Amino acid sequence: MSSSRIEVAAPAKINLFLEVLHRRPDGYHELDSIFAALDLHDTVVLERADRVSLTAEGHEVPLDRTNLAWRAADALGVGARIHLVKRIPAGAGLGGGSSDAAAVLTGLDRLYGMGIARDRMVALARGLGADIPFFLTGGTARCRGIGDLVEPLEGGRGRRFCLLQPSIFVATERVYGALSGLTGRRKSASVFFRRYFGKPGRGRAPFYNRLQETAEALEPGLRAVREDAERRFGARFCLSGSGSSYFTEIDDMRAPPAPFEVGGISVRVHEVATI
């Protein structure tokens, strides 16, 4: 390509359903989840350069090689000036860092005219992080393995959600490390998908997240936020990923979305839609 600059949207995601099946010998956990991409997004600005550099605005993120966006450029072996316009907070269960990395992979592939084959791109994404392959596809998908085995699903577009963003950072590793009680029968993402997407209006299958109880035990402020929101808006909220964001479907709410505060925890509220 002749252009020396490109902008790529990096969408957030929510987990409409998240089951943890078991812990693997390598220490990771086997998942069965339904991911849905949102119209809330970061903007990733990429420019050709001799080496990799990273700047950001909005939410604070690391600006060195620990950032997945930087590591994605390194994986391609090209230089780039990367600027992130962050609208997705870190530690929120919305996949912002993974989405940024996927945007860097696809954006630099276009910017440099590399023509990387799909299988190779997925392998690069998988090597960087478990959620990144999903963001190469987006939409709605069933994700298995450690989240890296992606099966696109039809019918997920245009669902409207209320998204809560508490001012709490939750470390994914800490939540998975505290997870216990993985015994008995596990719930199935495929069953959830059929029941949720097959039933219009009320009465659909409820959202589900195996990690919610553990995350709320580790961070009691999360439970306080959820319980206050459920009283305030008259709807059941579900945690996304390992937290700290919660969501519910707009149609199920009895009160309009509005920001609030609980015990010193400020909660930003967004209306979002699946894309």
User: Which residues, in sequence order, are bridge partners of residue 38?
Assistant: 274
Pick the CATH number of 5-153 from 3.40.50.970, 3.40.50.11720, 3.40.50.720, 3.30.230.10: 3.30.230.10
> Looking at the DSSP assignment, which residues form a beta bridge with residue 145?
31
* CA distances for 177 relative to 215, 230, 245, angstroms: 10, 28, 19
Tens-binned pLDDT, residue by residue, of the chain (275 aa):
458 999 999 999 999 999 999 989 988 999 999 999 999 999 999 999 999 999 999 999 999 999 999 999 999 999 999 999 999 999 999 999 999 999 999 999 999 999 999 999 999 999 999 999 999 999 999 999 999 999 999 989 999 999 999 999 999 999 999 998 776 688 999 999 999 988 665 557 899 999 999 999 999 999 999 999 999 999 999 999 999 999 999 988 999 889 999 999 999 999 999 99
Nearest to 215 by CA among 92, 124, 53: 92
Q: Where in the chain is the domain with CATH 3.30.230.10?
A: 5-153
Cα 119 from Cα 115, distance rounded (Å): 12
Model pLDDT, residue 148 = 94
Active-site residue numbers? Answer: 13, 131
Compute φ and ψ for 235, nearest 5 degrees. -150, 155
Closest CA to 16 of 248, 226, 216, 232: 248
| Range(s) of the chain covered by CATH 3.30.70.890 | 160-273
pLDDT at position 72: 98
Residue the block writes with tokens 């696109």: 152
**30 forms bridges with which residues in the sheet?**
22
Which pLDDT does position 1 carry in this prediction? 42
Second CATH level (architecture) for the domain 160-273: 2-Layer Sandwich (3.30)
Rounded CA separation 54/64 (Å)? 7
212 burial via Cβ count (<10 Å: 0-12, 13-18, 19+): buried
Model confidence, pTM: 0.94
178 Ramachandran zone, left/alpha/beta (phi>0; psi -120 to 50): alpha
- Predicted pLDDT at 203: 59
